[in-house]
Amino acid sequence: MSAAEHRAVAIGASAGAIQALLQILPALPEDYALPVLVVVHVPPGRRSELTTLFAAKCRVHVCEGEDKQPIEPGTVTFAPPDYHMLVEPGGTISLSADEPVYFSRPSIDVLFESAADAYGPGLVGVVLTGANEDGARGLRAVAEAGGVTLVQDPATAYARAMPQAAVAACRKATVLALGGIVEALLAAGTR
């Protein structure tokens, strides 16, 4: 797989997210060729801390998604608290105040489904640790659009339910420990 085929990475994580993302995002080089869109379930109001935390540890640019913001390579964009974050076909972010999905806003499914529509086979979808089922339906949409699907090995996850549900919904997903996910992302997006 060459970087040219890939257009974006979408990551979803819930319980245990910060520890898992701390192993992944700081490993990305400054000139990482893909945009990285991330949904983390945290109680409303806490997300700006997340952005600050990762900005201090990452070489790539880190921000919180704003409505109509262009999606840029080499940038990690976290979904803001209390909004769903979607990808528009033109490569910009749009936000939505629609009802929570699985009690969660932002929702991983909502990001993944819209990103699968926008990027098709160019999307790499990653489901990490978590204690609910968000992301399973979204990852299936990524696979159906021809994208790459990666799931954290449930045996290595802080909370297994979410990666387990993702694998059940998307049988062809590649199951990897965090180290393997980092390698796959580097291979997908290093110039």
Partner 1 sequence: MNDGGMDSEKIEDIEIRLLLEALYRRYHYDFRNYAQASIKRRLRQARERQGIKTFSALQDRILHDPAVAARVVRFLTVQVSDFFRDPSYFKAIREKVVPHLKTYPSLKIWIAGCSAGEELHSFAILFREEGLEDRTLFYATDINQEALDAAARGIYPLDRIAAFTENYRLAGGKASLSDYYTTGYGGAVFDKTLRERVVFSDHSLVTDAVFSEMQLISCRNVMIYFDKPLQDRAVGLFRDSLARGGFLGLGSKESLRFSEHAEAFSEFVREEKIYQRRKV
Residues near partner 1 (CB under 8 A) are 64-69, 80, 82-83, 86-89, 92, 94-99, 110, 113-114, 117-118, 120-121, 144-146
Q: How far is the CB of 92 from partner 1 (least distance, A)?
A: 8
CB contact burial 39-71 (16+ within 10 A = b; e otherwise): bbbbeeeebeebbeebeeebebbbebbeeebeb
Find the largest Cα–Cα distance for the chain. 39
Nearest to partner 1 of 27, 93 (CB atom): 93
Q: How far is the CB of 117 from partner 1 (least distance, A)?
A: 7
3-state secondary structure (DSSP) of residue 79: coil
Distance CA 85, CA 156 (A): 28
Nearest to partner 1 of 94, 174 (CB atom): 94
Nearest to partner 1 of 95, 157 (CB atom): 95
Active site residues: 14, 41, 134
Q: How far is the CB of 26 from partner 1 (least distance, A)?
A: 26
CB contact burial 143-172 (16+ within 10 A = b; e otherwise): bebebbbbbbbbebbbbbbbbbbbbebbee
Q: How far is the CB of 105 from partner 1 (least distance, A)?
A: 9
Nearest to partner 1 of 156, 174 (CB atom): 174
Residue 82 CA, chain-centre distance (Å), reads 17
